[in-house]
Homo-oligomer: A and B are copies of this chain.
């Protein structure tokens, strides 16, 4: 019975004051091609600070994500871990597909929703060309900003504690 609840306009406005930093542009994000050897992805992942990175095709379309976990799992067999187990495999063989992503002008509601479940959210253009990522880190910076600014700038009056005039009349 409850109406659809949306993000309040003032909260949204303050959260978006950091919006220009929301997008980490593609040129600053490590990525691999889907047809690269898996050992190359392992090398890239071991060199960057992220445990998961985007996978692109030769025209920079986002086609998946690959993580250290995906690769290490594949290295494992019944006797332990061996590099031999990933010999001859490509990124496409182990990457995650059907990745949730949004457009750069996507709404905050969607971004927040996805970032509850994913450490970062790939941003694509209308042709699914990868343009960058949005991270929990940047959203949390905005949340910090909101938490400190909102009550400095606004007086909050509870709607729930406002006495009901009809009831007041009854008392009188």
Interface residues in chain A, defined as those with a beta carbon under 8 Å from any beta carbon in chain B? 5-12, 15, 39, 42-43, 45-46, 49, 51-52, 67-69, 72-73, 76, 80-83, 108, 112-113, 115-117, 119, 136-137, 139-141, 143-144, 146-160
Contacts and interface: CB of A to CB of B under 8 A. Distances in A.
16 contacts: A5-B148, A5-B149, A7-B148, A11-B146, A11-B150, A39-B80, A46-B76, A51-B67, A112-B143, A115-B140, A136-B140, A153-B160, A154-B158, A155-B156, A155-B157, A157-B157
Contacts of A12: 147
A12 B144 CA distance: 11
Nearest to A76: B46
Contacts of A151: 8-11
Interface SS of A by simple majority = helix
A144 B72 CA distance: 34
Contacts of A10: 151, 156
Nearest to A137: B116
Given A83-B83, A158-B153, A8 B147 contact: yes
